[in-house]
Amino acid sequence: MTTEPSKAPPLYPKTHLLAASGIAALLSLALLVFPSSDVEAKKTTLSLELESPAEQLTQDQDAADAVQATNEPVQSPFAQIENSTDDTQQTAQAAPAPVVEEKKNPSHKEVVVAKGDTLSTLFQKVGLSSTLASEILASDKQAKQFTRLKRGQKLEFELDSDGQLTQLHSKISDLDSISLSKNAKGYAFSRTTAKPTVRSAYVHGVINSSLSQSAARAGLSHSLTMDMASVFGYDVDFAQDIRQGDEFDVIYEQKVVNGKAVGIGPILSARFTNRGKTYTAVRYTNKQGNSSYYTADGNSMRKAFIRTPVDFARISSRFSMGRKHPILNKIRAHKGVDYAAPRGTPIKAAGDGKVLLAGRRGGYGNTVVIQHGNSYQTLYGHMQGFAKGVKTGGSVKQGQVIGYIGTTGLSTGPHLHYEFQVNGVHVDPLGQKLPMADPIARNERTRFLQQSQPLMARMDQEKATMLASSKR
Catalog residues that contact Zn ion under the rule CB under 5 A. 338, 417
Tell me if 311 sits within 8 A of 238, measured CB to CB. Answer: yes
Closest Cα partner for 35 from 299, 288, 300?
288
For Zn ion, which is the closer residue by CB, 249 or 338? 338
Query: Min. distance of Cβ 314 from Zn ion in angstroms?
Result: 13
Query: Min. distance of Cβ 353 from Zn ion in angstroms?
Result: 21
For residue 167, give Cα distances in angstroms to 114, 158, 329: 21, 5, 76
Question: Using CB atoms, what's the residue nearest to Zn ion?
Answer: 417
* Angle 278-222-304 from CA coordinates, rounded to 5°: 50
Query: Min. distance of Cβ 74 from Zn ion in angstroms?
Result: 40
Residue 276: which residues within 8 A CB-CB, separation 6 or more? none
Query: Min. distance of Cβ 417 from Zn ion in angstroms?
Result: 3
DSSP 416: E
For Zn ion, which is the closer residue by CB, 73 or 365? 365
For Zn ion, which is the closer residue by CB, 135 or 237? 237
Tell me if 332 sits within 8 A of 358, measured CB to CB. Answer: no
Query: Min. distance of Cβ 237 from Zn ion in angstroms?
Result: 17
Question: Helix and strand tally (H, E) in the chain?
Answer: 7, 25
For Zn ion, which is the closer residue by CB, 114 or 337? 337
Tell me if 33 sits within 8 A of 256, measured CB to CB. Answer: no
Query: Min. distance of Cβ 408 from Zn ion in angstroms?
Result: 13
For Zn ion, which is the closer residue by CB, 426 or 463? 426
* Burial class of residue 78 (count of CB atoms within 10 Å of its CB; 0-12, 13-18, 19+): middle
Angle between helices 211-218 and 222-231 (to 10 degrees): 120
Q: How far apart are CA 72 and CA 381, in angstroms?
A: 38
* Burial class of residue 357 (count of CB atoms within 10 Å of its CB; 0-12, 13-18, 19+): middle
Query: Min. distance of Cβ 260 from Zn ion in angstroms?
Result: 47
Angular region, 130: left φ>0, alpha ψ -120 to 50, beta rest: alpha
For Zn ion, which is the closer residue by CB, 238 or 319? 319
Query: Min. distance of Cβ 336 from Zn ion in angstroms?
Result: 5
Query: Min. distance of Cβ 60 from Zn ion in angstroms?
Result: 37
For Zn ion, which is the closer residue by CB, 254 or 317? 317
CA 207 to chain centre: 20
Q: First vs last Cα of the chain: how many Å apart?
A: 48
Closest Cα partner for 270 from 288, 284, 286?
284
3-state per-residue secondary structure call for 275-295: CCEEEEEEEEECCCCCEEEEC
Query: Min. distance of Cβ 341 from Zn ion in angstroms?
Result: 13
For Zn ion, which is the closer residue by CB, 227 or 338? 338
For Zn ion, which is the closer residue by CB, 337 or 387? 337
For Zn ion, which is the closer residue by CB, 150 or 332? 332
Which segments of 113-256 does DSSP mark as H helices, in order?
119-125, 130-139, 211-218, 222-231
